[in-house]
């Protein structure tokens, strides 16, 4: 049984404020997923209302990524000058305002501005939430909070896919269903916006600004005993005397540049293996093969969410590189199989004439492909990018690598469907399979195994000039 120690701390738990911190942070991840997963099952409804052509579909989808690039670029500045809490309030406000405005079904240019703004909010949240958590959540739960963020992204994709299917079926006609789809995002966004007001500011940022008394007051709210508070304050002070966040000039230092390239290429390949073609356009692609209904709409988000759970465990057990290999091999085989399925469909123009064999092959390929990504390249790339940079360049490194992620995500969203219509439906699967092969070679040659090694040791090896691949050697 839990007992209350008198100051709101449960004997076997944390203070209520700690749960609020985690919840708001989880909502940040959820909103990332809600915006990312919104398109797949709303595209038909959007097309009915806005009379989308293929390229309109792509540009409306991809403008989220452009917003993400700018959000990620500016989030470092927001974090430093506004503080962590106010940056989260800002992200919450942008999410709420942009999704509520979209629900009014404004003309397309305005709707696109709103989606750009949502991307901007996602860019801020994906940088600030993990940073805020690492500075504010009690040490014992920091690690699991990091993985919670990734899990919430996939849960967000699942939730919005399901609710969009439900809304489209129950409320016929885009003028009713489309506003409801946007209002679903608004609901969660408003929760995050309201929740972020009651968050305490990050004690580390307060100390950075010389406001020790306020930092102590925050720690009194989140921690149990005076001894814990003194220890935390001591550690922050020590850290503040260590290397501080460097400016963008750090990219010109040889050791940093090398490791930056690893992060940049990892994020580039994370997108060039083709995941967002599936996350965004799976129902459209299944439609090309004559498959509609729940299987076409829900397979990708469901498999994606379910297989992120084992990843959290496997990443520590198997290590990062082994997972990247396994995932990439699964993706190569399944992309080739999906390409083959489309080739055997050939130029059958009436989808109802397509036989069961290519449909089954396509479905199985997509399931195993998503499994391959969810268990490996999805979580591992973000994790490795948070580990490889030396402390003084971590903010810069993560800003740049996050921007690269969004840049290549945008390219895939922007060109996947037109590539298929220009070069044939099978072609794009072979291209992505080719990128998976290059990705494996790159991992083998340059990516260090970071399992079970301290970040300090990685940094020490990097500055000593150890080869990239061996940075994780103890």
Interface ranges with ligand BGC (CB under 6 A): 36, 153-154, 157, 270, 275-276, 279, 304, 378, 382, 405, 409
- Closest to ligand BGC by CB, 36 vs 299, is 36
Question: Rounded distance, CA 199 to CA 101, Å?
Answer: 26
With H, G, I as helix, E, B as strand and everything else as coil, classify residue 10.
strand
Q: How far is the CB of 409 from ligand BGC (least distance, A)?
A: 5
Report the nearest approach of ligand BGC to the CB of residue 440 (Å). 18
3-state secondary structure the chain: CCCECCCCCECCCCCHHHHHHHHHHHHHHHHHHHHHHCCCCCHHHHHHHHCCCHHHHHHHHHHHHHHHHHHHHHHHHHHHHCCHHHHHHHHHHHHHHHHHHHHCCCCHHHHHHHHHHHHHHHHHHHHHHHHHHHHHCCHHHHHHHHHHHHHHHHHHHHHHHHHHHHHHHHCCCHHHHHHHHHHHHHHHHHHHHHHHHCCCCCHHHHHHCCCHHHHHHHHHHHCCCHHHHHHHHHHHHHHHHCCCCCCHHHHHCHHHHHHHHHHHHHHHHHHHCCHHHHHHHHHHHHHHCCCCHHHHHHHHHHHHHHCHHHHHHHHHHCCHHHHHHHHHHHHHHHHHHHHHHHHHHCCCCCHHHCCHHHHHHHHHHHHHHHHHHHHHHHHHHHHHHHHCCCHHHHHHHHHHHHHHHHHHHHHHHHHHHHHHHHHCCCHHHHHHHHHHHHHHHHHHHHCCCCCCCCHHHHHHHHHHCCCHHHCCCC
Q: Is 51 helix (H, G, I), strand (E, B) or coil?
A: coil
Q: Closest residue (Cβ) to ligand BGC?
A: 378
Tell me how far, at minimum, the Cβ of 11 lies from ligand BGC, in Å: 37
The nearest distance, CB 114 to ligand BGC, in angstroms, is: 20
Least Cβ distance, residue 273 to ligand BGC (angstroms): 10
Our CB check for ligand BGC shows the closer of 236 and 279 to be 279
DSSP state of 453: -
Q: Which is nearer to ligand BGC, 218 or 388 (CB)?
A: 388
**In the complex, minimum distance from the CB of residue 67 to ligand BGC, in angstroms, rounded to a whole number:** 14
Minimal distance, residue 324 CB to ligand BGC, in Å: 13
Q: Select 158 or 429, whichever has its Cβ closest to ligand BGC.
A: 158
Strand partners, 10: 4
224 burial type by CB count under 10 A (0-12 exposed, 13-18 middle, 19+ buried): middle
Query: Least distance in Å: CB of 467 to ligand BGC?
Result: 27
Question: Cα(92)–Cα(435) distance, rounded to whole angstroms?
Answer: 36
Give me the least distance between CB of 305 and ligand BGC, in Å please.
Answer: 8
Retrieve residue 285's tokens: 């692609």
> What secondary structure letter does DSSP report for 107?
-
Question: Which is nearer to ligand BGC, 66 or 202 (by Cβ)?
Answer: 66
Question: Which of 33, 448 has the CB closer to ligand BGC?
Answer: 33
Cβ atoms within 10 A of the Cβ of 463, count?
A: 12
* Most distant CA atoms of the chain, gap in Å: 73
Shortest Å distance, C-beta 276 to ligand BGC = 5
Q: Is 361 or 439 the residue whose CB approaches ligand BGC more closely?
A: 439
Instruction: For ligand BGC, give the closer residue by CB, 69 or 153.
Output: 153
* Residue closer to ligand BGC, measured from CB, 208 or 275: 275
Q: Which is nearer to ligand BGC, 208 or 298 (CB)?
A: 298
> Cβ closer to ligand BGC: 417 or 462?
417
Using the minimum distance from each CB to ligand BGC, give the nearer residue, 157 or 416.
157
Min separation Cβ 174 and ligand BGC, Å: 25
Q: In the bound complex, what is the minimum distance in angstroms from residue 39's beta carbon to ligand BGC? A: 11
């Amino acid at each position: 049984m839990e007992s209350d120690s008198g100051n709101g701390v449960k004997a076997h738990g944390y203070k209520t404020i700690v749960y609020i911190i985690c919840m708001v942070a989880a909502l940040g991840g959820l909103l990332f997923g809600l915006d990312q997963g919104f398109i797949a099952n709303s595209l038909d409804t959007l097309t009915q209302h806005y009379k989308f052509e293929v390229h309109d579909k792509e540009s409306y989808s991809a403008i989220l990524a452009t917003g993400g690039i700018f959000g990620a670029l500016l989030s470092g500045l927001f974090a430093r000058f506004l503080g962590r809490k106010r940056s989260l309030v800002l992200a919450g406000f942008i999410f709420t305002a942009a999704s509520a405005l979209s629900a009014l079904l404004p003309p397309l240019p305005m709707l696109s501005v709103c989606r750009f703004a949502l991307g901007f909010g996602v860019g801020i949240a994906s940088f600030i939430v993990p940073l805020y958590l690492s500075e504010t959540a009690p040490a014992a739960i920091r690690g699991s909070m990091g993985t919670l963020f990734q899990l919430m992204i996939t849960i967000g994709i699942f939730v919005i896919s399901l609710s969009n299917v439900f809304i489209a079926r129950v409320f016929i006609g885009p003028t009713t269903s489309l506003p409801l789809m946007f209002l679903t995002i608004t609901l969660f966004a408003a929760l995050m916006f309201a929740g972020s007001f009651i968050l305490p500011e990050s004690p580390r940022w307060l100390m950075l600004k010389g406001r020790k008394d306020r930092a102590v007051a925050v720690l009194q709210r989140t921690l149990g005993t005076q001894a814990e508070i003194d220890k935390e304050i001591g550690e922050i002070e020590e850290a503040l005397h260590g290397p501080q966040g460097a400016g963008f000039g750090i990219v010109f230092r040889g050791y940093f540049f090398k490791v930056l390239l690893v992060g940049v290429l990892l994020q580039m390949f994370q997108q060039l293996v083709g995941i967002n073609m599936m996350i965004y356009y799976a129902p459209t692609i299944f439609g090309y093969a004559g498959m509609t209904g729940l299987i076409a709409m829900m397979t990708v988000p469901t498999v994606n969410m379910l297989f992120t759970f084992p990843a959290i465990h496997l990443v520590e057990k198997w290590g990062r590189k082994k997972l990247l290999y396994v995932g990439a091999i699964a993706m190569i085989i399944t992309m080739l199989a999906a390409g083959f399925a489309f080739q055997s469909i050939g130029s059958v123009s009436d989808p109802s004439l397509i036989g069961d064999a290519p449909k089954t092959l396509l479905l199985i390929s997509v399931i195993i492909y998503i499994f391959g990504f969810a268990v490996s390249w999805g979580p591992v790339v973000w994790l490795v990018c948070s580990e490889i940079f030396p402390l003084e360049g971590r903010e810069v490194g993560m800003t740049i690598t996050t921007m690269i992620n969004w840049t290549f995500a945008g390219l895939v969203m922007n060109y996947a469907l037109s590539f298929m219509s220009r070069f044939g439906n099978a072609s794009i699967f072979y291209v992505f399979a080719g990128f998976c092969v290059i990705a494996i070679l790159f991992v083998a040659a340059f990516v260090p195994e970071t399992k079970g090694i301290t970040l300090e040791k990685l940094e020490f090896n990097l500055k000593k000039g150890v080869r990239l691949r061996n940075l994780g050697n103890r």
